[in-house]
Structure 1
Amino acid sequence: MPKTFLITGGAGFIGSAVVRELIHNTDHRVVNVDKLTYAGNLESLASVEDSQRYTLVKADICDAPAMQRAFAAHQPDVVMHLAAESHVDRSIDGPAEFIQTNVVGTSVLLEAARGYWKTLQESASEKAAGFRFHHISTDEVYGDLAEEGASSSFQLPASSSLFTEQTPYAPSSPYSASKAGSDHLVRAWQRTFGLPTLVTNCSNNYGPYHFPEKLIPLMILNALAGKPLPVYGDGQQIRDWLYVEDHARALIKVATEGEVGETYNIGGHNEKTNLEVVETICALVDELRLDSSSFQLPASSLITFVADRPGHDLRYAIDAGKIERELGWVPQETFETGLRKTMAWYLENRDWWQRVLDGSYQGERLGASV
């Protein structure tokens, strides 16, 4: 039976992938609640904007009356909370905005959801039993999964080689600390008030519609333009990479089939050093983009090592065994197939990323008010 999904941050990178997946491949309805900050791009939702099952609500999750009105007006069955400030470098430059959106905003949304859920219970609505609040978080809350003998702000036991759902939290940046705080709030609302919540922690996402400040799109676009490819430190930081459409499918499965109160880690089984990622991108650029006057061969000659950022974690790696065992989800893309699809998308969608780079995508900020 079709459900109504209220998705916060649905114009963002991961959020828009979830919205597209729901509209294109299910019968569910979607209410996209987005403040439309710099990271929210309505052009990422062009393929769904005319669907009768899609509604855009322009609102800030920190605005309690607006959130209450959104719940009352749209009567969701599922909340998928993706709205967040997410760029580590920006959190170092300005932590306060991350605390406001990620911690305060989550508390406001939780209270709006709890109030709405109580009305469902009081009216004996069948929707009450099926209501879910799904909070989407990051593997960065676990801190640094350093290799044995490497320096780290936090060392897991020697027997631990991957983050599991039981790994203690040890965030390193203002961003990851704010996400850890929001995770704790969600679990507290479940324990204290009984709100039916789910939490997922994912590894690094990549794919189409990714904002160009992030590693993979930044390197693709810089390489195409013949610009330097800045790599922090020695480039040996290790990340697990997850194709965004695989992540979207996993999130929908958790929201509809996951067990209340549980946490599920979502990873791509693709551990790569940052330098390996950049070198792979360079090889693809050399192969696929040979006719630009600004293009420099080999693209790897553009790699430039720059000073490392403060508190840079050495390694993140997800154990996604639980979601595979309990919900049957596995990623469909390898890093190689996903990156090739990503590169092809950026080559075929110049208008999208050029409008991001020149800021013109921000000229239209439409949506129903609440």
Structure 2
Amino acid sequence: MEGLVTREFWRGRRVLVTGHTGFKGAWLSLWLETLGAEVTGLALSPGTTPNLFTLARPQIHALTGDIRDEDAVSRAVAASDPEIVFHLAAQSLVRRSYRDPLETISVNVTGTAVVLNALRTAKTLRAVVVATTDKVYRNLDDGRPFREDDPLGGHDPYSASKAAAELVTAAMADSFLEAPVATARAGNVIGGGDWSEDRIIPDIWRAAKSGVPLTLRHPDATRPWQHVLDPLSGYLLYAERLAAGANVPRALNFGPPPNETLTVGEVADTMLANLGTEQRWQRADDPGPREMKMLALDPSRAIATLDWRPQLDARAALAWTADWYRRFDQGADARALCLDEIARFSDRIVA
């Protein structure tokens, strides 16, 4: 059925997820569990306290290892014998990439190459989806939404490392892998259970909890905000189509319509209101490293080729996110909160 994730495809499917202890990886692992997949995860130990993977408790075979460690990755591939692979493990923070550019490049470029090289031994492999980012494009800050055939680039180490990961992915796929390999470029993902550093939603939550003033470095910047389940639904649908041998592009954007972007300040205002706090934000005296003011994705190719569509606009995504954090702060179980949102979302797009 066009445009729908199918339980029949995922039931009993052997899936390897790298980066399962990260925010997006934890949500994906839990969703795959509800679909009946047999999931193996490979990642470093959780990097934040609290941590969504620990709290949501996805029922998967979780392995600890660095994706740059060839032995660890080979063991994970052998243990999982994967049919589908989602490569999400990455150093995903722009500001951290300024502090440690070599680590960022090593994880995102070499790590991707190590994972794809290890998959050469996967005998039953049917599809690989490599998650990159909306920041892989050469951004001239002219506000034009990026399309998949726009030039890749990156003015900061994180963006450049993910653009390089795109090139490495294409080269490894063309040279060594028979199964189809594709890259998925998502927008700025939000949702409950993100406690990362230097991200707007966790920063808002921490400010609301502590009463410390919320400081925004670039309140006028626009980004393609989307609830985490929207791009993940695209990843699942993409993998299904690739495994079925469908003639789909090997790189797709998953983001909201370009006219639905909000500024960082608008996101903060909306999130604070949804959290029920009277707290407001202030502009930082020092905005820190350079960031692009305008960023938008054109998702029309994913809509045309996969019949994928975002289900939540930015304000609905913020409402879902605030509700998750508010209920969590009131003592609700993180796993139950995630499963409830997955069920509500799945009612729209899962057959």
TM-score by length of 2: 0.83
1:265 counterpart = 2:253: yes
In the other structure, the counterpart of 2:338 is none
State the alpha-carbon separation in 1 of the partners of residues 76 and 248 from structure 2.
Answer: 23
State the alpha-carbon separation in 2 of the partners of residues 303 and 5 from structure 1.
Answer: 44
Kindly indicate whether the alpha-carbon contact (under 8 Å) linking 2:186 and 2:254 is maintained by their aligned counterparts in 1.
Answer: yes
Q: Which amino acid aligns with 1:266?
A: F
Distance 1:17 1:223, change over 3 A: same
Shift of residue 329 of structure 1? 1.1
Distance 1:331 1:177, change over 3 A: same
State the alpha-carbon separation in 1 of the partners of residues 50 and 76 from structure 2.
Answer: 20
Shift of residue 34 of structure 1? 1.0
* Per-residue Cα deviation, 1:265-287 (whole angstroms, up to 9, x for no partner): 000233111111112223323xx
1:191 counterpart = 2:186: no
Shift of residue 260 of structure 1? 6.5
- What pairs with 1:157-306 in structure 2 (closer than 5 Å)? 161-195=144-178, 196-213=180-197, 214-233=199-218, 235-258=219-242, 259=247, 262-269=250-257, 270-285=260-275, 288-289=276-277, 297=278, 299-300=279-280, 302-306=281-285
Kindly indicate whether the alpha-carbon contact (under 8 Å) linking 1:20 and 1:45 is maintained by their aligned counterparts in 2.
Answer: no
State the alpha-carbon separation in 2 of the partners of residues 110 and 326 from structure 1.
Answer: 25
Secondary structure in structure 1 of the residue aligned to 2:315: helix
Kindly indicate whether the alpha-carbon contact (under 8 Å) linking 2:52 and 2:194 is maintained by their aligned counterparts in 1.
Answer: no
In the other structure, the counterpart of 2:28 is 18
State the alpha-carbon separation in 1 of the partners of residues 80 and 330 from structure 2.
Answer: 33
In the other structure, the counterpart of 1:138 is 133
State the alpha-carbon separation in 1 of the partners of residues 76 and 99 from structure 2.
Answer: 32
Shift of residue 39 of structure 1? 4.9
In the other structure, the counterpart of 2:18 is 8
Secondary structure in structure 1 of the residue aligned to 2:189: strand
Secondary structure in structure 2 of the residue aligned to 1:230: strand
TM-score by length of 1: 0.79
State the alpha-carbon separation in 2 of the partners of residues 67 and 193 from structure 1.
Answer: 17
In the other structure, the counterpart of 1:368 is none
Kindly indicate whether the alpha-carbon contact (under 8 Å) linking 1:145 and 1:317 is maintained by their aligned counterparts in 2.
Answer: no
Secondary structure in structure 1 of the residue aligned to 2:284: strand
Shift of residue 335 of structure 1? 1.3
What do you get for the CA RMSD once the two structures are aligned? Answer: 2.3
Kindly indicate whether the alpha-carbon contact (under 8 Å) linking 1:12 and 1:40 is maintained by their aligned counterparts in 2.
Answer: no
In the other structure, the counterpart of 2:342 is none
Kindly indicate whether the alpha-carbon contact (under 8 Å) linking 2:40 and 2:62 is maintained by their aligned counterparts in 1.
Answer: yes
- What pairs with 1:58-137 in structure 2 (closer than 5 Å)? 58-114=64-120, 116-117=121-122, 120=123, 127-128=124-125, 131-137=126-132
State the alpha-carbon separation in 2 of the partners of residues 186 and 260 from structure 1.
Answer: 16
Kindly indicate whether the alpha-carbon contact (under 8 Å) linking 1:10 and 1:32 is maintained by their aligned counterparts in 2.
Answer: yes
Distance 1:66 1:40, change over 3 A: farther
State the alpha-carbon separation in 1 of the partners of residues 283 and 227 from structure 2.
Answer: 26
Kindly indicate whether the alpha-carbon contact (under 8 Å) linking 1:198 and 1:260 is maintained by their aligned counterparts in 2.
Answer: no
Aligned length: 315
Secondary structure in structure 1 of the residue aligned to 2:91: coil
Distance 1:226 1:308, change over 3 A: same
* Per-residue Cα deviation, 1:176-216 (whole angstroms, up to 9, x for no partner): 11111111100011222244211111110000111242112
Kindly indicate whether the alpha-carbon contact (under 8 Å) linking 1:145 and 1:316 is maintained by their aligned counterparts in 2.
Answer: no
Q: Which amino acid aligns with 2:147?
A: T
Shift of residue 27 of structure 1? 2.1
- What pairs with 1:140-159 in structure 2 (closer than 5 Å)? 140-144=135-139, 146-147=141-142
Query: Structure 2 unaligned runs (5+)?
Result: 1-8, 333-351
